[in-house]
Amino acid sequence: MSQPPKNLQTIESHIMNLQSLHPNASGELTGLLNDITFASKVISREVNKAGLVDILGATGDENVQGEQVQKLDDYANAVFMRCLGTKGQVSIMGSEEMADPYYPDTSNGSGNYVVVFDPLDGSSNIDVNVSVGTIFGIWKKKSRLANIGDVDLLQPGRDLVAAGYVIYGSSTMFVYSAGHGVHGFTLDPSIGEFLLSHEDIKIPFRSCIYSVNEAYEPKWSPEMRDVVRQLKYGRATKTTRQDAPGKGAGMTARYIGSLVSDFHRNLLKGGVYLYPPTMEKAEGKLRLMCEAAPLAYIVENAGGYASDGQQSILEITPRKLHQRVPLYIGSRDDVLWIEKMVSQAADPI
Ligand code: AHG
Ligand code: MN
Ligand code: MN
């Protein structure tokens, strides 16, 4: 018989410890985070079954953004809708898969929290057994009265009270922050628990990995082409990168095409992810509220940085739920350099 592991901490007890740092906490956020971990276990089970049962392929529907919906997108969305805020903690939910925000009956507007999520990120990768994920952000409701609205929903990332993501990969991991570091938990399927595996994650300050879909190069601005060329061949301008790994040389490339997976690798190993605007998509592809802002919150709590090329992603106040944004995210020094290059360009990139 093998020895029991020395430090067994479940995510539930970690979240509970967090609550003890806030003596006046009502326990609502604790309950909500636990609801999210439960939802992610249900989704994980379904993702793992995807190769075994006939749930693969597109439903044929298009989501509000004109993209093909895979069956697991629908499933993951339904799981989140059913599992979240079961005790009335949530007054508004926003999902990548739903055109409009949803106001749960369970709280009648009295719930203190607003949750926005991408229930299944990278879903086009499911059919080929590549890691996918879930992303969520939690804000506190601003209005005191029950008549909640856009002022509660459309808040900047800077006001997030917690955010996280789940990666359904070779194992399922849950990574979250509530402002006290970034912590990662790995699902042990045999006991159905997320166990603390990555405490207080810090992203390397500089990196030697860039992640971008370079097939779009012809659709980038000349300035963006130059940014990526310099990442690849080495920077022309003198920067603090001189003592970075691969001194004097360019970086190497990694691109999975699942934002959560690319982000997760870069968070642990160091790296910078780019999704610049293209000629067709002047605001980029990724969504501010359900993708960029929660990951920006995570990366900043891990010592990294996220920018839209002009400012921190966390400073942007959304105009609408499904707003898109250019995204440069990862190791702090690398993202700051990209932001400087982009913001100094004569024409906006
Ligand atoms: P989603 O599956 O939630 O629609 O997100 C897909 C996103 C993201 O996961 C990924 O990084 C990006 O789309 C890839 O886009 P390209 O295929 O244009 O590179
Ligand atoms: Mn996504
Ligand atoms: Mn999605």
Residue 170, SS3 per DSSP: coil
Residues of the chain with CATH 3.40.190.80: 209-346
One-letter amino acid identity for 11? Answer: I
Contacts of 320 (CB under 8 A, 6+ apart): 154
pLDDT digits (tens, 9 = 90+) for 42-90: 999 989 877 665 545 556 667 677 776 668 899 999 999 999 988 899 9
The tokens for 213 are: 């879909």
User: How many residues does the structure list for the chain?
Assistant: 349
pLDDT value for 246: 47
Please give the Cα distance from 254 to 332 (Å, whole number). Answer: 18
Cβ proximity of 272 and 266 under 8 Å: yes
pLDDT given for residue 48 in this prediction: 87
Q: For residue 335, what pLDDT is reported?
A: 98
Contact 203, 194 (CB under 8 A): no
In whole angstroms, give the CA distance from residue 263 to residue 267: 6
Domain 209-346 fold is D-Maltodextrin-Binding Protein; domain 2 (3.40.190)
C-alpha 91 – ligand 3 centre gap (Å)? 22
* CA 72 / ligand 3 centre spacing (Å): 10
Provide the pLDDT for residue 312.
Answer: 98
User: Which atom of ligand 1 is nearest to 260's Cα?
Assistant: 9
Ligand 1 pocket mutation, candidates 125, 262, 286, 329, criterion most atoms within 8 A of CB: 286
Atom number in ligand 1 closest to CA 215: 19
Buried b (16+ CB within 10 A) or exposed e, 169-178: beebbbbbbb
For ligand 1, atom 6, which residue shows the shortest CA distance? Answer: 122
- Ligand nearest the Cα atom of residue 130: 1
| Number of neighbours of residue 108 by Cβ within 10 angstroms | 12
Amino acid at 2: S
pLDDT score of 70: 63
Residue 321 C-alpha to ligand 3 middle, in angstroms?
14
11-198: CATH, from 3.40.50.620, 3.20.20.70, 3.30.540.10, 3.40.50.720: 3.30.540.10
Average pLDDT of each block of 10 consecutive residues along the chain (349 residues)? Answer: 77 89 85 96 89 56 70 92 90 96 85 96 88 97 81 97 96 97 96 96 97 97 96 77 56 96 98 97 97 98 98 98 98 97 77
With a Cβ cut-off of 6 Å, ligand 1 is lined by: 67, 96, 118, 121-123, 213, 257-259, 285
- pLDDT for 5 equals 67
The model's pLDDT over 113-151, given as tens digits with 9 standing for 90+, comes to: 999 999 999 988 888 889 999 999 999 999 876 678 899
Q: What's the pTM?
A: 0.92
Hey, whose CA ends up nearest to atom 17 of ligand 1?
Answer: 257
Nearest atom of ligand 1 to the alpha carbon of 120: 3
**Beta 132-140 vs 113-121: how paired, if at all?**
antiparallel
Model pLDDT, residue 68 = 67
φ and ψ at residue 152, rounded to 5 degrees: -85, -35
Closest ligand 1 atom to Cα of 262: 11
**CA separation for the pair 54, 52 (Å, rounded):** 7
Domain with CATH 3.30.540.10 in the chain: 11-198
